[in-house]
């Protein structure tokens, strides 16, 4: 265990992949929330530098998070993510769901903010390109269980793309509606090659299991 309930899914001399729990921010700054940064000293394990996350997950999203353990590994991991050479697979339970069994959402995303409402991401032609591939894994009880594969890594991309199509992720208080169990989004699988092939899967959080069972999991 890395601390705070995070399981180490994979570790070698260059990389650590954690199974981050929901409710843990990657970086400090969210008032009252623990963060992955709180665990870095414990994950150093004799290395000269603290390990550093190579990408981001929302605090509300559980699942696979890769960290580089050395400066060269951090740079190499960052390059893999920038070059879209990392296979990222998410599971989500959405309200309603698509009529089709598979498809693509291609919609640019722009960050907007106001003093009254704070910031959020919106679909806007002036935004950054964003593409998400999806397929239905199960349906039931007015919900759908989706596998989501983002080809870009924009902030809140999966949440906004699902909401924009009319099937917000269950429990998404920002782009849909709050629900028991919180945001039903899991960074299920991460795969990449950095010297060796790394492919890991995160466990399904207890908070998501009931809704997934309703969809046939």
Phi and psi torsions of 46, nearest 5°:
90, -5
| Per-residue pLDDT reduced to its tens digit, 39-53 | 899 898 888 899 999
Ordered domains of the chain (ranges, CATH):
7-214 (3.30.2350.10)
The residue-averaged pLDDT of 193-197 equals: 95
Per-residue pLDDT, 148 = 98
Full-model pTM: 0.94
pLDDT in tens, 99-124: 999 999 999 999 999 888 899 999 99
Which two tokens mark 72? 């060269």
Closest CA to 97 of 139, 61, 156: 139
- CA dist 85 and 192 (Å) reads 7
Per-residue pLDDT tens over the stretch 133-146: 999 999 999 999 99
**Which residues are identified as catalytic?**
58
86-101, pLDDT tens digit by residue? 999 999 999 999 999 9
Would you say residue 5 has pLDDT above 80?
A: no
pLDDT at 182: 97
Nearest CA-CA partner of 37 in 26, 29, 23: 26
Other beta carbons within 10 angstroms of residue 40's beta carbon come to: 17
Tokens at residue 154, please? Answer: 């924009």
């Amino acid at each position: 265990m890395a601390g705070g309930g995070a399981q180490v899914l994979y570790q070698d001399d260059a990389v650590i992949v954690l199974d981050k729990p929901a409710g843990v921010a990657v970086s400090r700054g969210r008032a009252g929330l623990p963060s992955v940064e709180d665990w870095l000293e414990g994950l150093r394990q004799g290395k000269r530098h603290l390990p550093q996350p190579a990408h981001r997950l929302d605090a509300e999203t559980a699942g696979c998070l890769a960290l580089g353990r050395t400066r060269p590994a951090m740079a190499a991991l960052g390059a893999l993510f920038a070059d879209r050479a990392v296979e990222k697979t998410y599971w989500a339970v959405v309200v309603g769901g698509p009529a089709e069994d598979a498809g693509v959402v291609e919609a640019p995303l722009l960050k907007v903010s106001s003093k009254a409402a704070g910031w959020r991401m919106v679909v806007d032609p002036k935004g950054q390109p964003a593409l998400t591939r999806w397929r239905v894994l199960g349906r039931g009880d007015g919900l759908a269980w989706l596998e989501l594969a983002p080809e870009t890594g924009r902030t809140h991309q999966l949440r906004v793309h699902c909401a924009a199509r009319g099937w917000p992720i269950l429990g998404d208080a920002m782009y849909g509606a709050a629900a028991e169990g919180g945001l039903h989004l899991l960074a299920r699988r991460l795969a990449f090659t950095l010297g060796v092939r790394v492919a890991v899967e995160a466990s399904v959080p207890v908070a998501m299991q009931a809704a997934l069972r309703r969809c046939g999991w």
